[in-house]
């Protein structure tokens, strides 16, 4: 064993490089972004009658809190909101790919990793991030719907690795 801890050797062999994590994160981020945007839209429609309100509000990074009152499709709010949402999903997907995704990993382990990263994303979004840079979903969604959005994101992160494994 040459003085090397066995577990460390295993981690070294199974950890992705940052380049691999970024490449895979582009795919898992896109899957996660679409899945969570769909969850946002479905929950928004159910709770406020607006499928785009929860996506538009994300653009408050640029346009301020007035975005919470825009429920129609627009380049200014919808495209900007989705672009920010997609970029954030991709960033968290790279974290997932680097820290959680392993070759020959079981589906429950992949899902657990995805849910863990989604929980980190939620905590970061609402506890560590300054108010102006928070997503603002709570302006349109209940806490239970907000939780479902993050769960859908976490489960979607596992999809790329699970599908690639086949």
In a domain, 38, yes or no: yes
In a domain, 2, yes or no: no
pLDDT in tens, the chain (166 residues): 333 333 333 344 458 999 999 999 999 999 999 999 999 999 999 999 999 999 999 999 888 888 888 888 999 999 999 999 999 999 999 999 999 998 888 999 999 999 999 999 999 999 999 998 998 898 889 999 999 999 999 999 999 888 886 5
In a domain, 141, yes or no: yes
In a domain, 3, yes or no: no
Residue 92: which residues within 8 A CB-CB, separation 6 or more? 29, 32, 117, 118, 120, 121, 153, 157
Our count of domains for the chain comes to 1
Whole-angstrom distance, CA of residue 79 vs CA of residue 42: 18
How far out from the chain centre does Cα 130 lie?
A: 18
φ, ψ for residue 80 (rounded to 5)?
-65, -45
For residue 44, give the nearest of 56, 53, 36 by alpha carbon.
53
Whole-angstrom distance, CA of residue 90 vs CA of residue 112: 18
Domain that holds residue 39: 17-164
Task: Give pTM, 2 decimals.
Answer: 0.87
In a domain, 66, yes or no: yes
């Amino acid at each position: 064993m040459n003085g090397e801890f066995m577990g460390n050797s295993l981690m070294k062999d199974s950890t992705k490089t940052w380049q691999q994590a970024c490449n895979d994160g582009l795919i898992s981020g896109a899957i996660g972004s679409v899945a969570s945007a769909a969850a946002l839209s479905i929950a928004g429609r159910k709770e406020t009658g607006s499928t785009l309100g929860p996506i538009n509000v994300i653009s408050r990074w640029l346009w301020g809190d007035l975005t919470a009152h825009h429920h129609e499709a627009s380049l200014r709010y919808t495209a900007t909101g989705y672009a920010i949402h997609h970029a954030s999903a991709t960033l968290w997907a790279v974290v997932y790919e680097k820290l959680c995704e392993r070759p020959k990993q079981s589906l429950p382990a992949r899902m657990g990793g995805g849910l863990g990263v989604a929980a980190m994303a939620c905590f970061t979004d609402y506890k560590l991030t300054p108010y102006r840079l928070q997503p603002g979903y709570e302006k349109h969604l209940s806490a239970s719907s907000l939780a479902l959005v993050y769960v859908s994101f976490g489960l979607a992160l596992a999809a790329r690795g699970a599908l690639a494994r086949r």
